[in-house]
Amino acid sequence: MRKNIVAGNWKMNKNLAEGEDLVNELVSKLKGEKLNCEVIVATPFIHLASVAKLISGSPLKLSAQNCSDKESGAYTGEVSASMIKSAGASFVILGHSERRAYYGETNEVVKTKVDVALADSLKPIVCVGENLDQREEGNHFEIIRRQIVESLFHLSANDFERVVLAYEPVWAIGTGKTATGEQAQEIHSFIRRLVAEKYGTSVAEDLTILYGGSCKPSNAKELFANPDVDGGLIGGASLKADDFIGIIKAF
Ligand code: PGA
């Protein structure tokens, strides 16, 4: 069954105390609410273990924002998928456009990280999306197709079923410029067709595809109303409990 998900990507924001405050506020404000989506917070690494304790018994789930492409060993400064899992997270965001742009992550690197994450029972939230030039040149479908084929289509159907996809047009991230519901739907249905060609309709129908890029309480309803938009990956608006809850309530 396809799940609706709203995931907050904190990026490199909030010190430990501020992160704990935000999570405590979310947990208390969501208590007793009937939620029509799964809610995930993707915190910096150092927050994971304490946030895991704070959300226990609540509907919130925990994600990291990245993991190493190596399993363990002499890789100074890296954090492995198994460490993330042991801290209490169940998801990891992979291939975010900021990682691709600033840290040289290629589709090949994302592919390796997907394998490492799945091997350690973490569900990858894999981000794809075109930049403004690519869209203006009309290359966006091909860019997205290659990101998906090259980082995910080596997986078995069983493994693919543990993946969540996020379409994040780079021109909409942190810019205040949101894709219209129509633009999001066009790409999401393209992605679902691509997955159907490879893994069959039933796997494609069960796949959760999130939209990300300047999603906020005021536009979430319009975006989520589209049949192939199954929720959002939220950056800026996930840093304030009321804004994040406003988006969660759009379902
Ligand atoms: P934004 O970021 O909501 O601040 O645009 C989304 C993301 O990068 O995941």
Binning pLDDT at 50, 70 and 90, where does residue 202 land?
very high
Mean residue pLDDT of the chain comes to 97
Is 31's pLDDT higher than 90? Answer: yes
Binning pLDDT at 50, 70 and 90, where does residue 11 land?
very high
Residue nearest ligand 1's atom 7 by CA: 235
% residues pLDDT > 70 (the chain)? 100
3-class DSSP assignment, residue 212: strand
Residue 176 confidence (pLDDT): 87
Is 241's pLDDT higher than 90? Answer: yes
Determine the distance separating the centroid of ligand 1 and the alpha carbon of 73, expressed in angstroms: 32
Q: 60-118: per-residue pLDDT in tens?
A: 999 999 999 999 999 999 999 999 999 999 999 999 999 999 999 999 999 999 999 99
CA 12 – CA 101 distance, rounded (Å): 15
Q: Is 239 in the pocket of ligand 1 (CB under 6 A)?
A: no
Residues with Cβ within 8 Å of residue 167, at least 6 apart in sequence: 127, 128, 129, 144, 184, 187, 188, 191, 209, 210, 211, 212
- For the chain, state the CA radius of gyration: 17
Residues 242-251, mean pLDDT to the nearest whole number: 98
Residues 217-238, mean pLDDT to the nearest whole number: 98
3-class DSSP assignment, residue 1: coil
Is 52's pLDDT higher than 90? Answer: yes
Q: Would you say the pTM of this structure is higher than 0.85?
A: yes
Does residue 96 have an active-site annotation?
yes
Determine the distance separating the centroid of ligand 1 and the alpha carbon of 238, expressed in angstroms: 9
CA 122 – CA 125 distance, rounded (Å): 9
Is 53's pLDDT higher than 90? Answer: yes
Binning pLDDT at 50, 70 and 90, where does residue 36 land?
very high
Binning pLDDT at 50, 70 and 90, where does residue 177 land?
confident
Residue nearest ligand 1's atom 2 by CA: 235
Q: Across the strands, what pairs with 124?
A: 92
| Ligand 1 atom nearest 93 alpha carbon | 9
**Per-residue buried b or exposed e for 167-196, using 16+ beta carbons within 10 Å of the residue's own CB:** bbbbbbbeeeebbebebbbebbebbbebbe
Residues 180-193, mean pLDDT to the nearest whole number: 97
The closest alpha carbon to 110, from 132, 120, 125, 121, belongs to 125
Task: Give the containing element (helix H, strand E) for 63.
Answer: strand 60-64
| Ligand 1 atom nearest 97 alpha carbon | 8
Does residue 182 have an active-site annotation?
no
Residues 231-249, mean pLDDT to the nearest whole number: 98
